[in-house]
Structure 1
Amino acid sequence: MNYRHSFHAGNSADVVKHSLLIALVRALQLKEGALTLIDTHAGCGLYDLGGDQAQRTGEAVQGVLRAFADPNPLLDDYRAAVQAVNAGDEPQLYPGSPRFLAQLLRPQDILILNEKHPEDAYTLRGVMRDTGAAVHERDAYELWLAMVPPRTARGVVVVDPPYEQTDERARITATLAAAHRKWAHGVTVIWYPLKDQATHWKWKQQLRRIGIPKLLLVEHWLYDSEQPGIYNGAGLFIVNPPYAFTQALPPMLEALRAALAPEGHRGEIISGWLGD
């Protein structure tokens, strides 16, 4: 699957991913100690929802626009973060993960971004120039391993690849295993698209074999039954999520499910520990 951010900006997967990313970082910030936030596949950082690529799919209509139309206050933090990069009531621009993370920074926190595609990296530097973020242009998996453990005692690595390469899941699995050996207490967030259950089940078995004690799974299935050959939703693997985050998760997931369920479908968001 080729999942380039610019074609899917503001879709249902982004709403879930960014809502949970905000909640996760804020849960970690309940402690005063500095955080290092690392985004391995940062993309362009900011996307025009009226642009060619976003309009070609029109996925924001079923994602961020539905979240903005939903009254549930549990989505307020997400809506405020999107609104922060827009002038009007309805979003015309969509922030990528780097802009969401930049809004969450405290003075003691550090933001490290990486984007391998030269054109996207150039755009990213311009978008992030007012944030103090460090921007790298390296292989994502080499950078991930090189940056852990970070200089601060705590941190988060966000891994959000386009899944263009057939070995993407294998590289994630191998790098996660190596990174966990170096930084066993670190928090890692891995985003993935859901296309078919068989491929995903096989990957989950491979990740289980790494033996990470605290590996949380969150899956957002859009439809009431699997739709073969098409995008069915997305999920997150979260290593070492903080207790405050996991305790607040059930009502947040229900709010997201209700806001994003396609017409004629209830949809489903499930969560649980991968080892269970």
Structure 2
Amino acid sequence: MNYRHSFHAGNSADVVKHSLLIALVRALQQKPGALTLIDTHAGCGLYDLGGEDAQRTGESAQGVLRAFADPNRLLDDYRTAVQAVNVGAEPQLYPGSPRILAQLLRPQDFLILNEKHPDDAYTLRGVMRGTSAAVHERDAYELWLALLPPRTARGVVVVDPPYEQTDERERITATLAAAHRKWAHGVTVIWYPLKDRATHWQWKAQLRRLGIPKFLGVEHWLYDGDQPDIYNGAGLYIFNPPYAFTQALPPLLEALRAVLAPEGHSGEITADWLND
């Protein structure tokens, strides 16, 4: 499955991913200690919703534009993050995770970004100019392990690949196992698309077998039944989420389900502990 982000910027998966990422970092920041935030597949960092790629799919209409039209105050933090890179009421640009994470930084926090694709890395450096972010151009899985443990006691690793490679899930699983051995208490967030349940269940079982405690799975299924051979939704695996985040999660998930459900479908978004 190819998930090149310029085609999908601002879609329903982005709304869920970035809403939860903001809530997660904010929960960790309830303690004053410094955080290191690492994004292993950072992409370009900023996307033109009126550009050729985004217009080809039109997915932002069912994602960020719905979130902007919805009055639910639980989505205010997400809308504020998107509005920060825009002028006017309706967003024309969409911030990727690098720009959103940069907005959340406190003076004591660190942001490390990585993008292997040379053209995207070049764009990313320009987009992040004026921020304190460090930008690398390395293999994502090599960098993930090389930077652990980080210089701060606490931190978050965000793993958000395009799933272009057939062995992507296997590399994530192997690297996660090694990363847990190096930094057992670190928070890791892994994004993934949902296309068919069989592939999803098989990978979930592999991750369970790693035996990592505090393993939370968030799944967002857009449709009431599977739609064959198309994108059906997306999810996040979150390892070691803080208590403040998990306690506040249910109403946020319900707000996201309601605003993103396609016409004629109620949709489903769940959060379950997978290694209890």
**TM-score of the two chains, using structure 1 as the length reference:** 1.00
SS of the residue 1:13 aligns to: helix
Counterpart of 2:226 in structure 1 is 226
Q: Deviations over 1:217-265 (max 9, x none)?
A: 0000000011111000000000000000000000000000000000000
C-alpha distance in 2, partners of 1:152/1:275?
27
Matched residue, 2:117: 117
Residues 91-134 of structure 1: CA distance to partner in whole angstroms, max 9, x if unpaired? 00000000000000000000000000000000000000111100
> What is residue 271 of structure 2 aligned with on the other side?
271
Amino acid across the alignment from 2:185: H
SS at match of 1:112: strand
C-alpha root-mean-square deviation of aligned residues, in Å? 0.4
For residue 99 of structure 2, give the secondary structure of its aligned residue in structure 1: helix
- Distance in 2 (alpha carbons) for counterparts of 1:69 and 1:56: 22
- Give the whole-Å Cα distance in 2 for the aligned partners of 1:120 and 1:220: 28
Where in structure 2 are the equivalents of 1:158-169 lying within 5 Å?
A: 158-169=158-169
Asked if 1:25 corresponds to 2:25, the answer is yes
The alpha-carbon deviation at position 274 of structure 1 amounts to 1.2
Other-structure match for 2:103:
103
Map of 2:6 onto structure 1: 6
Shift of residue 6, structure 1, vs aligned partner: 0.4
* Matched positions, count: 276
Residue 101 of structure 2 aligns with an amino acid whose one-letter code is L
Task: Could you list the structure 1 runs, at least 4 aligned residues long, displaced by more than 6 angstroms after superposition.
Answer: none
1:72 and 1:147 mapped to 2: Cα distance?
A: 38
The equivalent residue for 1:74 is 74
Give the Cα–Cα distance (whole angstroms) in 2 for the partners of residues 275 and 12 of structure 1.
Answer: 27
Which residue of the partner structure matches residue 184 of structure 1? 184
Report SS of the residue matched to 2:98: helix
SS in structure 1 opposite 2:165? coil
Equivalent residue number for residue 130 of structure 1: 130
**What is the aligned-residue identity percentage?**
87
2:227 and 2:219 mapped to 1: Cα distance?
15
Q: How far, CA to CA, are the matches of 2:168 and 2:58 in structure 1?
A: 26
Gap runs ≥5 in structure 1: none
- Letter of the structure 2 residue corresponding to residue 51 of structure 1: G
2: CA distance between counterparts of 1:7 and 1:131?
26
AA matched with 1:258: A
| TM-score normalised per structure 2 | 1.00
Superposition deviation, residue 44 in structure 1: 0.1
Counterpart residue identity of residue 190, structure 1: I
SS in 2 for 1:75: helix
- Name the counterpart of 1:59: 59
1:136-151 pair list within 5 angstroms:
136-151=136-151
Aligned twin of 2:193: 193
- Tell me, in whole angstroms, the C-alpha distance in 1 between the residues paired with 2:131 and 2:260: 31
Q: Identify the residue that residue 246 of structure 1 maps to in structure 2.
A: 246
Determine helix, strand or coil for the equivalent of 2:251.
helix
Letter in 1 for 2:56: R
Shift of 1:20: 0.2
Does 2:208 correspond to 1:217? Answer: no
Unaligned runs of 5+ in 2: none
Aligned to 2:46: 46
Structure 1 residues 71-92: Cα deviation after superposition (integer angstroms, max 9, x where no partner): 0000000000000000110000
